C-alpha cells in the first residue's frame, strides 16, 4: 500500500518526503565506486599477458578457484561475472536518471557545454556519453564472458579478440570505461567532499591531476595488453579453439 | 592609445511580435580602465538607445548585471575590457531566467521562487523579546553564517549550471547555499528532517551532478563545492 500512497501522493505513510532519492544517490555512488575499483583489478589481470602467456594462464586458473578446487572451475568465474553484471545494470539504471531525457534537455546541454568551455561540465558530458555507449558494449562483453567462462586463457582470449572480431568492440569499450571510470571516481570524491580538508580547491586540483594520471596509466596498460592479444590471436588464427598448455606441463609430458 | 573594440549583443524582445533574436555589432573605442558597464552605457548613449541591460551598484554588490560574456556568465560591472586581448566581446542574456529584453533578465522572480521553495528565513518558535539584548552568537559561527550570507543573488551560478538549465525545477547552487546558511544558524530551529522535506529529492541536493560550474564562476567565491558536499552527507543519512 505504501508504494501506492507514495507514488500518487508523493509522501510516505507518515507524511514525510520519500527517503528513496537519498538511497538512489547513495547506491549510484556505491555501484559506480565498486565498478571503477573493480576495473582496476580487472585491468591488472588482463595485462598479466604482458608478463607472459604462462603468467596469464596461472592468473586465470587462480581466479577459477584453483586454490580451493583442484584445477579450478570456470563456474566460479561465471558466478562472479553475473554479480558484476547485476551491479552494472543497477548502476546504469540509476545513471539514466541523470542523462538528458528529452530533446530540449539535450539541446540546452549541448549549447551550454559548447559555449561555457568549462572542463568539469565537459567531463560530465564525456561521462554521460561513455555511460550510454556502455549500455551496449558493456552488456555484450559481460554476457559473452559470463557464458564462455571456460574460454579464458592466453589462446582462447586472443582468439576471441582476433578471430571472433572482439577487438573493435574492445577498443571502444576500453576508451569508454577508462574515461567514465576515472572521471567518475574524481566526481565521487568531489560529490561527497571526501578529501576537502582545509582547502577544497587545492584538493580538487590535486584530484584532477591524479584522475588524468590514472586515465593515462590504465589506457596505456589496456592498449598494450590489447595489442599483445591481437598479435597472439593473429598468429594463432589457423588453430582457433586450441587451448594453451603451460610450459611446465609440456616439460612434464616429455 | 585606444583600441577599437567590437561588442556583439544578442538582441531580442520577447514581447514584440516582430522581434527576432539576432546579434547586433557595436564598434567603439576603448577608454582607459573601461568596464563592460561603461562600454554598454556608451553604446546606449551614442549608438543604440533601444539596448536594454541592467545595472544598479556598478561595484559587484547588487547582483543585477549578470550576463554571458564570450560564453561565461559574469558580472558586467566587474568585467574589464582590457582583459579581452582581441577586443571582441559577445554578450548573451543569462539562460535559466525569464528574458525581459536583450541582456535584461528577471533574476528576481527566480530568486523569489527559490526563496519560497527553500523557506529562506529563520524558523523558530522562540518568543522574541525586543526589549532585551539579542542572544549572543559564537563569533566563529557568526563568521560562518556571514560567509554564506555574502550571496548577492546574481544568478551566475544558476546560469552556469547545466543541471539547472536542463531541469528548471532544480533549486540550484544559490538555493542549496541558502539551506547551508540556515542550517548553521543557531537561531534556526529546523532539524535535518525539516531540511530534508525542502531539498531531499532530485530537484534539491540529490539532483546536483557535481559539475562545479557554480563554484568556478560565482563572483563572490562562495564555497559552493564544499557546502553542497556537506549538505549531501548530512541529508543522505536522514532516517
Ligand atoms: C551502462 C553502463 C553505465 C552507465 C549508463 C553509466 C552512467 C553513469 C552516469 C550517467 C553517471 C553520472 C551520475 C551523476 O552525475 O550523478 C555515472 C557515474 C559513475 N559511474 Fe557510471 N555508468 C555505466 C557504467 C559504469 C562502469 C562500468 C563504471 C566503472 C568503471 C562506472 C563508474 C562510475 C562512477 C565511479 C561514477 C560516479 C558515481 C557518482 O557520481 O555517484 N560506471 N555513471
Ligand atoms: S551563489 Fe554566487 S553566483 Fe550564485 S547567486 Fe550567489 S553570489 Fe551569485
Ligand atoms: S551592477 Fe551591481 S553587481 Fe554589477
3-state SS string for chain B:
CCCEEEEEEEECCCCCCCCCCEEEEEEEECCCCCEHHHHHHHHHHHCCCCCCCCCCCCCCCCCCCEEEECCEEEEHHHCEHHHCCCCEEEEECCCCCEEEECCEEEHHHHHHHHHHHCCCCCCCCCCCCCCCCCCCCCHHHHHHHHHHHCCCCCCHHHHHCHHHHHCCCCCHHHHHHHHHHHHCCCCCCCCHHHHHHHHCCCCCHHHCCCCCHHHHHCCCCCCHHHHHHHHHHHHHCCC
Strands B88-92 and B66-69: antiparallel
| Nearest CA-CA distance, residue B77 and chain A, Å | 19
pLDDT in tens, B178-230: 999 999 999 999 999 999 999 999 999 999 999 999 999 999 999 999 999 99
Using CB distances shorter than 6 Å, the residues near ligand 3 are: B 55-58, 60-65, 75, 77
**Ligand 1 and A89: CB distance under 6 A:** no
Please give the pLDDT value at position B161: 98
Residue nearest to atom 14 of ligand 1 (CA): B209
Q: Do B162 and A124 touch (CB under 8 A)?
A: yes
pLDDT in tens, A178-194: 999 999 999 999 999 99
The architecture that CATH gives domain B118-235 is: Orthogonal Bundle (1.10)
Superfamily of domain B4-104 in CATH is Beta-grasp domain (3.10.20.30)
B232: exposed, middle or buried (Cβ count in 10 Å: 0-12, 13-18, 19+): buried
Question: pLDDT band at A1, cuts 50/70/90?
Answer: low
Contact A139, A208 (CB under 8 A): no
* Cβ contacts of B94 on chain A, cutoff 8 Å: none
What is the radius of gyration, based on Cα positions, of chain A?
22
Please give the pLDDT value at position A70: 79
Which atom of ligand 2 is found nearest the CA of B218?
3
* Cβ contacts of A201 on chain B, cutoff 8 Å: 215, 225
pLDDT in tens, B121-158: 999 988 888 899 988 999 999 999 999 999 999 999 99
Say whether pTM exceeds 0.95.
no
pLDDT in tens, A121-157: 999 999 999 999 999 999 999 999 999 999 999 999 9
Q: How long, in residues, is chain A? A: 254
Q: Do A118 and B216 touch (CB under 8 A)?
A: yes
Is B191 an 8 Å CB contact of chain A?
Answer: no
- The dihedral built from the CA positions of residue A33, A34, A37 and A40, taken in this order, carries a sign that is negative
- CA angle centred on A236, ends A234 and A241, rounded to 5°: 125
Residue nearest to atom 4 of ligand 2 (CA): B157
Contacting residues for A181 by C-beta, under 8 A, at least 6 apart: A35, A36, A39, A218
Question: pLDDT band at B26, cuts 50/70/90?
Answer: very high
Which residue's entry shows cell 579581452?
Answer: B84
Asked whether the predicted pLDDT for residue A24 surpasses 70, the reply is yes
Which residue's entry shows cell 582462447?
Answer: A156
Using CB distances shorter than 6 Å, the residues near ligand 2 are: B 151-157, 173-174, 177, 218, 220, 222
Residue B25 phi, psi dihedral angles, 5° rounding? -100, 135
C-alpha cell at position B126? 522562540
In whole angstroms, what is the distance from residue B11 CA to residue B18 CA? 12
| Nearest CA-CA distance, residue B130 and chain A, Å | 35
* Cβ contacts of A124 on chain B, cutoff 8 Å: 162, 209, 211
- In this structure, the number of other CB atoms found within 10 A of the CB of residue A159 comes to 23
pLDDT in tens, B100-114: 999 999 999 999 999
Q: How far is the CA of B61 from the centre of ligand 3 (A)?
A: 6
Which range among A13-22, A69-78, A209-218, B202-211 shows the weakest confidence by mean pLDDT? A69-78
Contacting residues for B48 by C-beta, under 8 A, at least 6 apart: B24, B26
In whole angstroms, what is the distance from residue B215 CA to residue B73 CA? 12
Asked whether the predicted pLDDT for residue A53 surpasses 80, the reply is yes
* Cβ contacts of A195 on chain B, cutoff 8 Å: none
Q: Do B72 and A117 touch (CB under 8 A)?
A: yes
Structural domain boundaries in chain B: 4-104, 118-235
**Ligand 1 and A90: CB distance under 6 A:** no
Asked whether the predicted pLDDT for residue A254 surpasses 80, the reply is no
| Nearest CA-CA distance, residue A94 and chain B, Å | 12
Looking at every residue in chain A, the average pLDDT score rounds to 94
Please give the pLDDT value at position A249: 81
Task: For residue A235, give Cα distances in angstroms to A78, A155, A162, A199.
Answer: 28, 10, 10, 54
Q: Please determine, for the modelled complex, whether the ipTM score is greater than 0.90.
A: yes
Task: Quote the DSSP letter at residue A21.
Answer: H
What 3-state DSSP class applies to A196? coil
The architecture that CATH gives domain A2-100+119-238 is: Up-down Bundle (1.20)
Portion of chain A with pLDDT greater than 90, in percent: 83
Q: Do A109 and B210 touch (CB under 8 A)?
A: no
Residue A207 phi, psi dihedral angles, 5° rounding? -60, -40
Amino acid at each position: 500500500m505504501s508504494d501506492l500512497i507514495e507514488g500518487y501522493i508523493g509522501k510516505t505513510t507518515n507524511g514525510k518526503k520519500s527517503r528513496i532519492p537519498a538511497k538512489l544517490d547513495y547506491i549510484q555512488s556505491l555501484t559506480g565506486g565498486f565498478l571503477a575499483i573493480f576495473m582496476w583489478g580487472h585491468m591488472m589481470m588482463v595485462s598479466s599477458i604482458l608478463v607472459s602467456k604462462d603468467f596469464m594462464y596461472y592468473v586465470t586458473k587462480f581466479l577459477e578457484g584453483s586454490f580451493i578446487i583442484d584445477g579450478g572451475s570456470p563456474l566460479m568465474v561465471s558466478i562472479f561475472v553475473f554479480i558484476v553484471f547485476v551491479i552494472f545494470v543497477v548502476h546504469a539504471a540509476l545513471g539514466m536518471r541523470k542523462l538528458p531525457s528529452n530533446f530540449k534537455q539535450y539541446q540546452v546541454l549541448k549549447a551550454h557545454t559548447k559555449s561555457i568551455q568549462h572542463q568539469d561540465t565537459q567531463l560530465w558530458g564525456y561521462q554521460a556519453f561513455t555511460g550510454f555507449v556502455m549500455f551496449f558494449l558493456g552488456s555484450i562483453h559481460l554476457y559473452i564472458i559470463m557464458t564462455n567462462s571456460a574460454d579464458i586463457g592466453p589462446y582462447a582470449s586472443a582468439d576471441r579478440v582476433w578471430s571472433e572480431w572482439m577487438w573493435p568492440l574492445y577498443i571502444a569499450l576500453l576508451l569508454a570505461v577508462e574515461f567514465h571510470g576515472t572521471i567518475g571516481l574524481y566526481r565521487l570524491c568531489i560529490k561527497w567532499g571526501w578529501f576537502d580538508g582545509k582547502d577544497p580547491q587545492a584538493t580538487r586540483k590535486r584530484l584532477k591531476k591524479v584522475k588524468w594520471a590514472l586515465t593515462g596509466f590504465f589506457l596505456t596498460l589496456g592498449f598494450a595488453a590489447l595489442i599483445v592479444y591481437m598479435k597472439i590471436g593473429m598468429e594463432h588464427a589457423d588453430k582457433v579453439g586450441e587451448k594453451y598448455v603451460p610450459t611446465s606441463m609440456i616439460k612434464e609430458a616429455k | 592609445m585606444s583600441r577599437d573594440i567590437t561588442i556583439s549583443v544578442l538582441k531580442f524582445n520577447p514581447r514584440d511580435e516582430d522581434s527576432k533574436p539576432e546579434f547586433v555589432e557595436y564598434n567603439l573605442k576603448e577608454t582607459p580602465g573601461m568596464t563592460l558597464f561603461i562600454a554598454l552605457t556608451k553604446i546606449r548613449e551614442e549608438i543604440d538607445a533601444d539596448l536594454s541591460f541592467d545595472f544598479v551598484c556598478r561595484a559587484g554588490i547588487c547582483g543585477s548585471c549578470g550576463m554571458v560574456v564570450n560564453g561565461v556568465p559574469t558580472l558586467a560591472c566587474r568585467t574589464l575590457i582590457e582583459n579581452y586581448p582581441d577586443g571582441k566581446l559577445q554578450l548573451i542574456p543569462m539562460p535559466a531566467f525569464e528574458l525581459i529584453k536583450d541582456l535584461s533578465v528577471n533574476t528576481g522572480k527566480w530568486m523569489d521562487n527559490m526563496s519560497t521553495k527553500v523557506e529562506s528565513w529563520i524558523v523558530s518558535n522562540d518568543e522574541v523579546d525586543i526589549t532585551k539584548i539579542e542572544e549572543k552568537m559564537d563569533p566563529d559561527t557568526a563568521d560562518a553564517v556571514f560567509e554564506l550570507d555574502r550571496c548577492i543573488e546574481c544568478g551566475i551560478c544558476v546560469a552556469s549550471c547545466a543541471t539547472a538549465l536542463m531541469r528548471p525545477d532544480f533549486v540550484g547552487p544559490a538555493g542549496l547555499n541558502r539551506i547551508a546558511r540556515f542550517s548553521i544558524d543557531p537561531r534556526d530551529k529546523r532539524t535535518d528532517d525539516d531540511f530534508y522535506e525542502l531539498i531531499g529529492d532530485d530537484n534539491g541536493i540529490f539532483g546536483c551532478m557535481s559539475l562545479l560550474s557554480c563554484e568556478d564562476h560565482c563572483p563572490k567565491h562562495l564555497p559552493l563545492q564544499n557546502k553542497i558536499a556537506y549538505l549531501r552527507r548530512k541529508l543522505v543519512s536522514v532516517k
